[in-house]
């Protein structure tokens, strides 16, 4: 970066300045910043975006970010499909669906793993305790007591929380589905429904996990993300193929900054917390709450996209089983680790 002595510039003689401009001289100008339309969902898995934007790193590297918040990954994909979004910080599940529908997207970095946990309200947590930890037995008993299936809130069809919740119900806990009703809601609506007692449980991510437990200590984590599926894939950085083709340097910069912000989140959560709170807190949460969420088991930050390919394959197979997609596809066509490898080589 070239430092300019303002006093020296202002002290130029009028004759020198006139001669310079008369001769066609023009002061050097930095290249215009590259505008990047970024869609994100409000979870700590997208914290890298809030960190490098909040610290001004993107601006320093010549990017002008236009951020738009979405209620879920499937909603965000609609904006990607319409050409309104270049970069995507949300769950990998909707990108699998999008790719199969012919939408040109690539996963160029991971951001977090094992985000989605299943939480239980007081009644469900008590039922599990009475059943000695036998989840199917607890659901059957509570459903009988309620006179209806146990309600579990999650995000819309095709989202990672919805896929992970059904995977847990069917493949891990093996709960009788007659005793369960899955209720699709948005991120904030899921949190509110759990707190208000409108549902008995929910599959949610941070900071909602920390927030609901702070507000109601009777709400318990029934199963963590890692217990549902080790290395469970979650939020990722996705880019449209059009943006990659037209702005390859900007695409590389986004991955560079995501990698850099990942390291800061892991090493300096106290520094990152105010930046994340500025986006997720909306004046309603404390920095301390966000810092607690950043170091919880639901915030395992990683940028390596190849580290989640195998677990993504498991979820893709399950998406086929539950009808979210019509066929499985070669994930090498969805993942592009070249930008990440260049970033870490630097």
- pLDDT for 148-198, tens place per residue? 999 999 999 999 999 999 999 999 999 999 999 999 998 999 999 999 999
Tokens of 256: 């560079």
Length of the chain: 346
Rounded mean pLDDT, 6-18: 34
pLDDT of residue 28 exceeding 70, the answer is no
Structure tokens at 281: 């807190």
**CB-based contacts of 49: which residues, under 8 Å, 6+ apart?**
38, 40, 67, 89, 258, 261
Quickly count: other Cβ atoms within 10 Å of residue 126's Cβ: 15
User: Taking 50 as the threshold, does the pLDDT of residue 103 lie above it?
Assistant: yes
Lookup: tokens for 109: 């970095």
Write down the H helix ranges in 223-299: 225-228, 241-246, 248-267, 269-280, 287-294
Percent of the chain scoring above 70 in pLDDT: 91
Alpha carbon 46 to chain centroid distance?
A: 4
Q: What confidence score (pLDDT) does residue 13 get?
A: 36
Q: For residues 268-283, give the mean pLDDT.
A: 95
The answer on pLDDT for 318 being more than 90 is yes
Residue range 60-71: mean pLDDT, rounded = 97
Q: What is the overall mean pLDDT for the chain?
A: 91
Identify the weakest region by mean pLDDT among 10-19, 59-68, 255-264, 291-300. Answer: 10-19
The alpha carbon dihedral of 198, 203, 208, 214 has a sign of positive
Q: Tokens 């059904």 — which residue?
A: 166
From first CA to last CA, the distance across the chain in angstroms is: 19
- Whether 12 has a pLDDT exceeding 50, the answer reads no
- Residue bearing tokens 């070239």: 2
* pTM of the complete model beyond 0.85: yes
Q: What are the tens digits of pLDDT across the range 220-259?
A: 999 999 999 999 999 999 999 999 999 999 999 999 999 9
In three-state form (DSSP H/G/I as H, E/B as E, the rest C), the secondary structure along 287-316 is HHHHHHHHCCCCCEECCCHHHHHHHHHHHH
Helix or strand holding residue 153 (H, E):
strand 150-154
All domains of the chain, ordered by start, with CATH?
34-113+232-345 (3.40.190.10), 117-228 (3.40.190.10)
Helices (H) and strands (E) counted in the chain, each on its own, are 18, 12
What confidence score (pLDDT) does residue 30 get?
Answer: 55
Q: Is 15's pLDDT higher than 60?
A: no
- 27 vs 121, residue with greater confidence: 121
Burial of 233 (0-12, 13-18, 19+ CB in 10 A): buried
- For every residue of 83-118, which 3-state class applies, written as one string? CCCCEEEEEHHHHHHHHHCCCCEEEEEECEECCCEE
Q: Flag the least confident range among 23-27, 298-302, 312-316.
A: 23-27
The residues, ordered by sequence, that sit 6+ positions from 304 with a Cβ below 8 Å of its Cβ are 109, 110, 337, 340
User: What share of the chain in percent tops pLDDT 90?
Assistant: 88
């Amino acid at each position: 970066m070239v430092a300019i002595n303002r006093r020296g510039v202002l002290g130029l003689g009028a004759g020198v300045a006139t001669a310079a401009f008369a001769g066609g001289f023009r002061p050097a100008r930095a290249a215009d910043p590259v505008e990047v339309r970024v869609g994100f969902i409000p979870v700590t898995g997208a914290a890298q975006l809030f960190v490098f934007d909040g610290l001004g790193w993107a601006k320093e590297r010549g990017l002008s970010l236009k951020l738009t918040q979405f209620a879920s990954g499937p909603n965000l994909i609609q904006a990607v499909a319409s050409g309104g979004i270049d970069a995507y910080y949300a769950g990998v599940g909707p990108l699998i669906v999008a790719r199969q529908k012919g939408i040109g997207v690539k996963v160029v970095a991971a951001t977090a793993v094992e985000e989605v946990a299943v939480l239980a309200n007081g009644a469900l947590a008590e039922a599990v305790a009475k059943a000695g930890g036998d989840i199917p037995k607890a659901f059957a008993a509570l459903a009988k007591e309620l006179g209806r299936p146990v309600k579990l809130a999650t995000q819309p069809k095709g989202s990672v929380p919805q896929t992970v919740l059904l995977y847990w119900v069917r493949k891990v806990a093996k709960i009788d589905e007659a005793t369960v009703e899955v209720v699709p809601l948005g991120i904030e609506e899921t949190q509110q429904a759990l707190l208000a007692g409108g549902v008995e449980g929910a599959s949610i991510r941070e900071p909602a996990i920390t927030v609901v437990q702070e507000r109601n200590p009777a709400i318990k984590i029934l199963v963590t993300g890692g217990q549902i599926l080790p290395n469970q894939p979650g939020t990722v950085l996705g880019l449209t193929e059009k943006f990659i083709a037209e702005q390859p340097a900007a695409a590389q910069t986004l991955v560079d900054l995501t990698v850099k912000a990942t390291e800061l989140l892991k090493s300096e959560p106290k520094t990152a917390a105010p930046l994340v709170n500025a986006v997720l807190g909306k004046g309603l949460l404390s920095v301390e709450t966000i810092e607690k969420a950043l170091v919880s088991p639901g915030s395992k930050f990683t940028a390596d996209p190849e580290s989640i390919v195998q677990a993504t394959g498991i979820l893709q197979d399950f998406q086929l089983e539950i009808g979210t997609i019509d066929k499985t596809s070669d994930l090498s066509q969805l993942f592009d680790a070249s930008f990440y490898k260049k970033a870490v080589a630097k």
